[in-house]
Amino acid sequence: MKTRYKTTVGEINEDVLFYTAGRDIELDQALIEYDCVGSAAHVRMLSDMRIDPPLFTKEETSQVLHELLDIMRHSRTGRFEITLQDQDVHMAVERILTSKLGDLGRKIHTARSRNDQVAVDLRLYAKQQIIDTMDETASLANVLVDFSRKYSDVPMPGRTHMQPAMPSSVGLWAGAQAESLLDDLVGLINAYELNDQCPLGSAAGYGVPMPVDRELVSDLLGFSRPIHNVLHAAASRGKMESVVLSAMSQVMLSLSRTAQDLMLFTMPELHYFELPSELCTGSSIMPQKKNPDVLELVRAKASRVLAHHVAVYDIVKGSPSGYNRDLQEAKEPFMEGISITRASVMVMSQMIKGLKVNTDALLKGFTPDVFATDRAIELVGRGMPFRDAYQHVKDHLDELEQIDPVESISKKSYYGMPGGMDFNAISDRLKNASDFAGEKRKSFHAAIGSLLDVPYPELE
């Protein structure tokens, strides 16, 4: 006979508790702060509600806010516990409030549901995470731009199909990696804006017969606006996560390419670059090995983030309107997808910073056939139609002469070509993305600080 647990919402079986709440207890650690903040805004709004008698007096409100602040501080030092019986952070916070404040704690759930809470917690969490990811991604892109600028004149055999193809430069390669991240930053901004809407006031998805001021809570929490339709506020869960993961997965896609390139470029047979030793690992059996494990993990983790996106999408697909518990399973892939992305961005940042360029090996890579296209175009310059020039060179591949690679790339001096990179333009666009993140961070923290009446995120 299985033990039954009494929870706030009924008695349930131990196995069911584990099956339904299992990893939530661990994952919800990252949500404690947002749950408290969300509750603070909710209580502030309830206390302003024009009903008689008021739900919370001014003093009661300040008592509740004080306790919530206390929980936040405790949680930062690891002294706030979510038990299996709580099931989740929401009930854990309510339990503490009730134990400290009695009836005040039992009132706090008025006009909201747990769905409201998890929805707002996840959106506040996503807000902070997306801002951080933007900052870190922009920072990695800047590292790449610096690298690109520094090595803009170092020739590199450009490859297609993994084979040497045409003259290129280290600068062009690094710049391409940076611009890929710039595109991804646009996707992150889009995800940020979609996420930046407050779901509170939805309750079970159908509203409540009380004068809930949804604009007010939205403002208090620093959101750009409330989600209008309360059923959509509930139903957007899952979809929001999917959009954010999609943006994250694009970052991983860029990183996976950079990682794959570096694996190729550091093969002993090419040795264009050398990876920083402290970012390599050895083999347990082969004494000579210095392996690019980190790069391989970046590549593999791109698959993990995609899979997390697939999980979330597939969970939501064909799901009927109104809350369904399926959504709970979206939480882990959502949070892990973000963590993986951020860790990968940071490790790649270190990687690029420590990367050494081996100019000799790069020059050695320029075999004459790399210049075949240049030669054909030279013939075009003399008036031969391109197809004829192409065929002519093809028929005389053995006669191709070695050209000075530095000279070759200097001739490709046009917009965005190896010799024509506009670093400032890219830096400016990166700065815009950084500034966006910076402003959003500032106004978000200001709103929370004002709500709690303490500096945020310091809390003291």
> Which CB, 10 or 78, lies closer to a copy of itself?
10
CB of 222 to a copy of itself, least distance (A): 18
Strand 4-7 with 10-13, pairing: antiparallel
CB of 446 to a copy of itself, least distance (A): 24
Q: Which two tokens stand for residue 432?
A: 């815009």
> Which CB, 79 or 325, lies closer to a copy of itself?
325
> Which CB, 31 or 456, lies closer to a copy of itself?
31
Positive or negative: CA dihedral 239, 240, 243, 244: negative
> Which CB, 175 or 456, lies closer to a copy of itself?
175
> Helix 239-265 crosses helix 114-150 at what angle (to 10 degrees)?
30
Strand 155-160 with 163-169, pairing: antiparallel
CB of 154 to a copy of itself, least distance (A): 14
User: Which residues form the catalytic set?
Assistant: 161, 283
Residues in the chain: 460
CB of 142 to a copy of itself, least distance (A): 15
CB of 39 to a copy of itself, least distance (A): 13
- HEC string of 16-38? HHHHHHCCHHHHHHHHHHHHHHH
> Which CB, 183 or 439, lies closer to a copy of itself?
183
Q: Residue 267: what are its φ and ψ, rounded to 5°?
A: -60, 140
Identify whether the C-beta of residue 412 lies closer than 8 Å to the C-beta of residue 167: yes
Considering only CA atoms, which of 242, 249, 196 is closest in space to residue 437?
A: 196
Q: Is the peptide bond before 53 cis (omega within 30 degrees of 0)?
A: yes
CB of 370 to a copy of itself, least distance (A): 8
> Which CB, 100 or 239, lies closer to a copy of itself?
239
CB of 155 to a copy of itself, least distance (A): 11
31, amino acid identity: L
Identify whether the C-beta of residue 11 lies closer than 8 Å to the C-beta of residue 2: no
Tell me how many degrees the CA angle 333-123-184 measures, rounded to the nearest 5: 65
Give 267-308 as a DSSP string: STTT-SEE--GGG-B--SS-TT--B-HHHHHHHHHHHHHHHH
> Which CB, 263 or 454, lies closer to a copy of itself?
263
213-223 burial string, b = 16+ CB within 10 Å, else e?
Answer: bbebbbbbbbb
Rounded Cα gap, residues 402 and 230, in angstroms: 69
Identify whether the C-beta of residue 167 lies closer than 8 Å to the C-beta of residue 405: yes
